Chain A
Amino acid sequence: MFEFKKSLATVLAVASLGGLLGATGAEAQTLKVVMHSDVKILDPIWTTAYIQRNHGYMVWDTLFAVDEKFDVKPQMVDKYSVSADNLVWTFTLRDGLEWHDGKPVTAEDCVASIKRWAARDSMGQKMMGSVANLEVVDAKTFKMNMKEPYGLVLQSLGKPSSNVPFMMPKKSAETDPMQQIKVEDVIGSGPFIFKADEWKPGEKIVYVKNTKYKPRSEPANGLSGGKVVKVDRVEWLAIPDVQTQVAAIQNGEIDMIEAPGHDLLPLLAKDKNIKLVNFNPTGNQYVFRFNSTAKPFDNAKVRHAVFVAFAQEDFLKATIGDPQWYKVCKAPFVCGTPFATDAGMADVLNGNAAKAKQLLTEAGYDGTPIVLMQSTDLQVLTNLAPVAKAQMERAGFKVDMVSMDWQTLVARRVKKEPPNAGGWHAFLTSWVAADILNPVMAGFYNASCEKAMFGWPCDETIEKYRDQFAKETDPAKQMQIVESLQKYWVDHPTHINVGQWYAPIARRTNIDGNLTAPVPVFWNVTKK
């Protein structure tokens, strides 16, 4: 037996040595990361999924970008100006911008990119509604001629989250917006270069440092400033099992996990070689979405009753648990962001079942069971629906909670059939704060009936406020509009914000430099 053990140890030792010999010296500067998902699609304009957005930030650059405080700063743009009547915006690109194939970035490329992005993005569509045309002045300059003043030009071009207006070469940007760009067209001007020959879906995606990239001179700040890459290579490895991810980082096989499950955070926190870092202090927001076309949620008073019945902390305790990773925050536009306000929120989200019951009686609720969809396979969402069910039942609702996997929910939520015939009344999801910074950006405020997102709220007043907000160029007046909208929206909710939560990254202690930003980015990150 001893002999056998000795032989096994020898074989394993040789095997380990072999592994070490097989490694290259360059590995010291390779950052190995497990992201929240594998990259299956390479076109960040074609889909709004967050993993494609993160991939986009590696490869492509943006005209503008937000800093830590969500102030919009120039990125690829060197200088810009707007005419006194707010009808002509002129943008001039920085010197030395180059695509990864060595060709210069031109104004023509940017115009084509803006058009493709705007065809897919709701904020882009809204902006283009006020744009007369985009005009190329010279190789580095283009103009945006407006039909009317529009207050969100910079916020749109500097939109930090899905869909991000990434600038692509004209050839890629002329791809039909409803089709993906080709693998060979994944050419950006960003700080990393995508290695098409090493991309193995389900295994890894590889980026190498773009040595020709010219960072801005300002220090990196949020998504803005100098994008200085401090590693040679970044590999995003696909390890689907969360327990294996944790074992791999403990064993030093990977350097970082973007989104370790909250139940595994105590285990990671105990390991002296691993540090948990909350790089995104505005975090995420849980949301309860109504189907405003289905009875009884077609009645605003019934929806308001749910708002009154809910208490945020119960949702957060049930899903996140540890208070250091959540925040009770009534502000729908997320605490810590420019349009955060509690205006109109005093009487809601207090878990007032008695008041909710009274509202339901006044609204004439007839006991129709509420079909509440529960996603069971995404840990951060699973426990939300049972809490919603309990709080609604306490207020007098009848709730039929239907459990399903997330992809089934995603398919069902676009169905407009009656809830008892394959449709739905409500479900819970989560937004990254950077997606919901104002009423135009936040898709669930879109109340344009058929054109709105699933749930299809139809409310002229909300739409009027959204239009006013978009066209207002004075930030102070924009804030007034937000407050007015919010006060109205509380009584006519399209959805309910049920708490803010944070997902720290786990990184080995030899890794540093993750920027405070709404999106995980890999410039400025160092590996010792």
Chain B
Amino acid sequence: MIDFIVRRLIAIIPVLTVVAILVFLMLRLTPGDPAAVIAGDNATSDQIADIRTKLGLNEPIWTQFVIWIGNMLQGNFGESFFFKKTVAELIAQRIEPTLALAVCTLIFAVSISVPIGVLAAYRQGSLVDRVVMGFSVVGFSVPGFVIGYCLIYVFAIELGWLPVQGYIRIGVNFWGFLERMILPSLTLSVGFIALISRITRASVLEVLNEDYIRTARAKGLSNRVVLMRHALRNAAVPILTVIGLGIAILIGGAVVTESVFGLPGLGRLTVEAVLSRDFPTIQAVILMFSVVYVVVNLLIDISYTLFDPRIRY
């Protein structure tokens, strides 16, 4: 197992190298000039040129790359072109809302989607099954921002139960934090629930046809025990896989959800950085997301062994 983890961790290096090169090159090749953005509308060409020089953007592209990689290897993510702050500081400031959103969404999504997926499989062909699958189609099809606006209209504007936007740190006011997390995580959960419930249904259906399930029933075990102990546990591997893959959906969805609900998280930082061509910030955030994605999937792989003793690394 330790060998496996070490091998997987070493495999992160080439992945990150490729991501780093791609991100760096794509940013330099796309149109846009951070110096022109910084200088503002009234700036002259000379002023813009001066800012480019100060930012080191007039250096050859490979020199810029080597400097950046060199700094990264020393743990220095660089300084944002715009904020007089290091990128590490910016990320540290913005990570909490995104982390909170991701955790709340995962809790919402898993606690809703797995039971309804199992229920849909157990009641295959029934009204419950059709409703769950119907919801799943809608959940996939409706864009997150539309769901967000609808939830804002109903729960904030019409009912006045929840705030429209904003974020309060968990340590400052727990209830304030919670009430500001409900709508964004519900919004982000919808697509996730649709995905996981579908996979859960399919996996459980497959398992329910296995001989050992028939044996379990023949032994006189209750439906609940058969479903939870035998069926769900054996269906867990594909479900976990899809949760792991869903982290990418979460990261992408956070960009939109954070904008709609005014959450000052990493998703919005990414959008702001892209719109203002803040190269050091974009590079660092994308690299960080890549690390998160790889590590989460490693954890998912490790968790397989908890559910299926046949899997050994």
Interface residues of B in 4-48 (CB under 8 A from A): 31-33, 36-48
- B176 adjacent to A19 (CB under 8 Å): yes
- A12 adjacent to B162 (CB under 8 Å): yes
Q: Which residue of B lies closest to A176 (CB)?
A: B54
Stretch at the interface among B103-111, B206-214, B259-267, B298-306: B259-267
Task: Find B44's partner among A13, A429, A453 (CB 8 Å cutoff).
Answer: A453
Q: A48-B42, A48-B43 are in contact. Are A411 and B36 (CB under 8 A)?
A: yes
Q: A12-B179, A18-B175, A202-B94 are in contact. Are A435 and B83 (CB under 8 A)?
A: no
- B82 adjacent to A41 (CB under 8 Å): yes
Q: A18-B175, A443-B42 are in contact. Are A240 and B259 (CB under 8 A)?
A: yes
Q: A19-B175, A22-B175 are in contact. Are A201 and B37 (CB under 8 A)?
A: no
Is B90 close to A, CB under 8 A? Answer: yes
- B83 adjacent to A407 (CB under 8 Å): no
Residue of B44, B166, B167 with most partner-chain A CB within 10 A: B44
Task: Find B176's partner among A18, A49, A120 (CB 8 Å cutoff).
Answer: A18
Task: Find B262's partner among A122, A241, A405, A414 (CB 8 Å cutoff).
Answer: A241
- B36 adjacent to A251 (CB under 8 Å): no
- A178 adjacent to B50 (CB under 8 Å): yes
B 79-109 binary contact with A (CB < 8 Å = 1; else 0): 0001111000010011000000000000000
Residues of B within 8 A of A251 (CB): 156-157, 160, 163-164
Is B276 close to A, CB under 8 A? Answer: yes
- A40 adjacent to B82 (CB under 8 Å): yes
Interface residues of A in 24-67 (CB under 8 A from B): 38, 40-42, 46-50, 52
Task: Find A407's partner among B32, B44, B149 (CB 8 Å cutoff).
Answer: B32
Residues of B within 8 A of A18 (CB): 173-176, 178-179
Interface residues of A in 159-191 (CB under 8 A from B): 162-163, 178-180, 182-183
Q: A243-B149, A451-B46 are in contact. Are A410 and B165 (CB under 8 A)?
A: no
Is B268 close to A, CB under 8 A? Answer: yes
Shortest A215–chain B CB gap in Å is: 29
Is A412 close to B, CB under 8 A? Answer: yes
Is A248 close to B, CB under 8 A? Answer: yes
Is B168 close to A, CB under 8 A? Answer: yes
Is A269 close to B, CB under 8 A? Answer: no
The number of chain B residues touching the other chain, given as a range, is 35 or more
Task: Find A41's partner among B36, B38, B43, B167 (CB 8 Å cutoff).
Answer: B38
Task: Find B272's partner among A38, A52, A120 (CB 8 Å cutoff).
Answer: A38
- A202 adjacent to B41 (CB under 8 Å): no
- Size of interface on A: residues with Cβ below 8 Å to B: 65
Residues of B within 8 A of A19 (CB): 163, 168, 173, 175-176, 179
Residue of B152, B153, B264 with most partner-chain A CB within 10 A: B264
Bound complex: CA A241 to CA B175 (Å): 24
- B41 adjacent to A200 (CB under 8 Å): no
Residues of A within 8 A of B48 (CB): 414
- A202 adjacent to B165 (CB under 8 Å): no
Residues of A within 8 A of B38 (CB): 41, 46-47
- A414 adjacent to B33 (CB under 8 Å): yes
Residues of B within 8 A of A453 (CB): 42-45
Q: Which residue of B lies closest to A453 (CB)?
A: B44
- A203 adjacent to B264 (CB under 8 Å): yes
A 196-228 binary contact with B (CB < 8 Å = 1; else 0): 000011110000000000000000000000000
- B261 adjacent to A48 (CB under 8 Å): no
Residue of B36, B153, B260, B275 with most partner-chain A CB within 10 A: B36
Residues of A within 8 A of B201 (CB): none
Bound complex: CA A244 to CA B167 (Å): 14
Residues of B within 8 A of A247 (CB): 149, 152-153, 156-157, 164-165
Residues of A within 8 A of B175 (CB): 14-15, 17-19, 21-22
Is A253 close to B, CB under 8 A? Answer: yes
A-B contact sample (20 more), CB < 8 A, given A12-B161, A47-B40, A253-B163:
A22-B168, A22-B175, A41-B83, A47-B39, A50-B40, A201-B82, A202-B93, A202-B94, A203-B167, A237-B262, A244-B165, A247-B149, A248-B262, A251-B157, A253-B165, A410-B36, A411-B32, A411-B33, A453-B42, A453-B43
